[in-house]
Amino acid sequence: MRKRRTYDDLDYNWLNKTLDISAISFHKMLQAAKKVDAIAEYGSVVALTYIASHRTFFGYNDMADAKSLLESIARSFGYIYGREKNVRINTISQSPTPTTAGKGIKDIDNMMDFADKMSPLGNASALECADYCVTLFSDLTRKVTMQTLFHDGGFSNMGMSLRAMNQYSKDLGPYEDENGKIIYG
């Protein structure tokens, strides 16, 4: 929900800004870098994404669309840059993280708690994500490209954990707005 608007009531000006800032800017950066030959042969480019590009998450809404586009751009440029200069381009799907942008997501604390309960290894921290990013700049990953790599403690492969089921069974009430209307997205 952006500016108190649900996904089925988007302001398309805000959606265009979301897509431009969160995805198209990645294309612009890669295109500009390619034109001036700014990325060295066998270089690596990494962008952060989120699993909501593959699955529906309450409250993530139009950002999921932006992350899907971001991942597509990484694959398309990954092919072009890979063939021409052996440059690797990947995205990392990180656990929910309380960044400045992340804090703008409705109920981010609940989202983080849910992911932590679902993940066998728990949520990955921002520092752990930074460490993972470093591996993608090393020669150890010179054949990894065009991938969305999950750095989420196993969340992306879970259906339901016991910890999450125990929490879920405690509150089955509907999620409502201030007027008592059920919110689905």
- pLDDT of res. 185: 55
pLDDT of residue 108: 82
CA distance 151 to 135: 12
The per-residue pLDDT for 48 is 97
Range with top average pLDDT, 8-17, 21-30, 56-65, 167-176: 21-30
β-pairing verdict for 44-49 and 88-94: parallel
pLDDT at 70: 98
Cβ atoms within 10 Å of 60's Cβ, excluding its own: 24
For residue 5, name the pLDDT band (cuts at 50, 70, 90): confident
C-alpha distances (whole Å) from 126 to each of 7, 84, 120, 164 are 28, 32, 18, 23
Confidence of residue 105 (pLDDT cuts 50, 70, 90): confident
The yes-or-no verdict on residue 182 having pLDDT over 80 is no
Q: Under a CB-based contact definition with an 8 Å cutoff, are residues 124 and 94 in contact?
A: yes
Task: Report the C-alpha gap between 7 and 80 in whole angstroms.
Answer: 34
Share the mean pLDDT of the chain: 90
Residue range 169-184: mean pLDDT, rounded: 71
Q: Which residue has the tokens 């196993």?
A: 154
- Two tokens at 160? 């339901």
If one counts every other C-beta atom within 10 angstroms of the C-beta of residue 160, the result is 10
Give the position of tokens 């490209």.
145
Assign 30 a pLDDT band (cuts: 50, 70, 90): very high
* CA-based nearest residue to 53, from 17, 26, 22: 22
Could you list the beta-strand ranges (E) of the chain: 44-49, 88-94, 148-151
Residue pLDDT, tens place only, 56-75: 888 788 999 999 999 999 99
The pLDDT value recorded for residue 1 is 47
Mean pLDDT for 17-33 is 97
Judged against a pLDDT cut of 50, whether residue 117 lies above it is answered with yes
Q: Which domains does the chain have, with CATH numbers?
A: 7-168 (3.40.50.720)
* Closest-CA residue to 97 (of 48, 137, 146): 48
